[in-house]
Amino acid sequence: MLKNIPVGDTERPAPRWALRLAKALPFIVLPHCLWRLPFAFGFEMGTVDPARAPMPWWGTPYVFGLSVTTEALTILTLGLVSGWGEVYPRWVPLLRGRRVPPPVPLVATLLGGLTLFGLFGLQPLAWVGLLDEVGFSNGWWEALARVCIGPAMLWGPITIALGLAYYRRRTARTG
């Protein structure tokens, strides 16, 4: 799926580690997106929460939309290692064909990465009992949840690292 998305073709080559991370990120977050989908159909994945209200009518499209949006955002990080992340596309009015100023993606990735860290990065504190966590009917469900949700904790730090590498590459002086 991601083989056909052109990466590379940049003014200066992206570091190999950044290329690998950008290509791997959609697959790192995919288990979290897939784990979320059964909730759209009322299957609770072993969670126990007596105070939880039934899923509203808009819950199913919301859960699907959240998963699709999540994956789209991870794929968008490929722009940080690709030529299409250095020049505005033709469909962007007023900016089409112009170079993307390096601070724009840097600020976006820093804000996004810090937000993602706030959403997912503190999860280990819940696992050791320092924060509240939803209950599970047994240890197998809890283990499955942690295996699926755990990799999403890397999304924020990876996004920040890719943004810093992008900025460094785009602002490096030529010798």
Strand-pair partners of 54? none
pLDDT at position 7, please? Answer: 56
Within-domain flag for 73: yes
Domain ranges, residue 72: 6-170
User: pLDDT of 14-47, one tens digit each?
Assistant: 999 999 999 999 999 999 999 999 999 889 899 9
The total of structural domains in the chain comes to 1
Within-domain flag for 123: yes
CA angle 70, 12, 112 (to 5 degrees): 25
Angle, helices 16-36 vs 59-76, to 10°: value is 170
Q: What is the mean pLDDT of residues 157-161?
A: 97
Within-domain flag for 67: yes
Kindly give, in sequence order, each residue whose CB lies less than 8 Å from that of residue 172, ignoring residues fewer than 6 positions away: 12
Within-domain flag for 39: yes
Within-domain flag for 47: yes
Within-domain flag for 175: no
Is the four-CA dihedral 168, 151, 110, 105 of positive or negative sign?
A: positive
